Amino acid sequence: MADQPIFPEQRLSIITLGVIDRAAMTRFYETAIGFKNVGPKQMAMFDLGGFILGLWEADKLAGDAGLGGGRPDGFNGVALAYNARSEAEVDEIFARCEAAGVTITVPPHKSFWGGYSGYFSDPEGNAWEVAFNPFWSFDEAGRVVLPGEAS
């Protein structure tokens, strides 16, 4: 292990999903989810209150990262998560998903870890968890405060 951490600050700036059909995915995130696209013409970008969710063609992202090929079919090993303030809010979000025709992969339920959560997927199979974690709180900006952290 190095004496110095790789990153000088512990934070995340952008999560970019490598997508097959950027136009369709952008419409999904704008229409079904309700996010506002603030990106340039070449890439969709959604400001999520402290970090950016980006959508970029999988082959372009793979090339930019020096990795071979585009995104493989099936689960890509990543789940994005939205932490709700209550179980009722989780249920409200899933009701909106159902009304918008979003694919619900796991309905909300009491979780093994003591919370309440469910999953849906976007049109290209990226997993989204919506969870209420009774052990976490939020700061004034709506960001999660983990136990033991100062808010």
Domain boundaries, the chain: 1-73, 78-151
Confidence of residue 2 (pLDDT cuts 50, 70, 90): low
CA distances from 44 to 22, 27, 85 (A): 8, 10, 28
52-57 β-sheet, strand order = 14-19, 52-57, 44-47
State the pTM of this model: 0.77
Helix (H/G/I), strand (E/B), else coil: 137: strand
Within a 13 Å sphere around the CA of 140, how many CA atoms are in the beta-carbon half?
Answer: 0
pLDDT digits (tens, 9 = 90+) for 103-127: 999 999 999 889 999 999 899 888 8
pLDDT computed for residue 3 by the predictor: 75
Q: Which helix (H) or strand (E) holds 43?
A: none
Cβ–Cβ under 8 Å, residues 20 and 58: yes
**For the chain, percent of residues with pLDDT exceeding 90:** 50
User: How would CATH label the architecture of 1-73?
Assistant: Roll (3.10)
Interval 139-149: pLDDT, tens: 888 888 877 76
User: How far apart (Å, rounded) are the C-alpha atoms in residues 105 and 34?
Assistant: 20
CA distance 120 to 106: 7
CATH domain 78-151 topology: 2,3-Dihydroxybiphenyl 1,2-Dioxygenase; domain 1 (3.10.180)
Biggest CA–CA distance in the chain, Å, is 52
Question: What would the pLDDT profile of 59-75 be if each residue is shown by its tens digit?
Answer: 888 777 776 665 555 56
Does 1-73 match 78-151 in CATH topology? yes
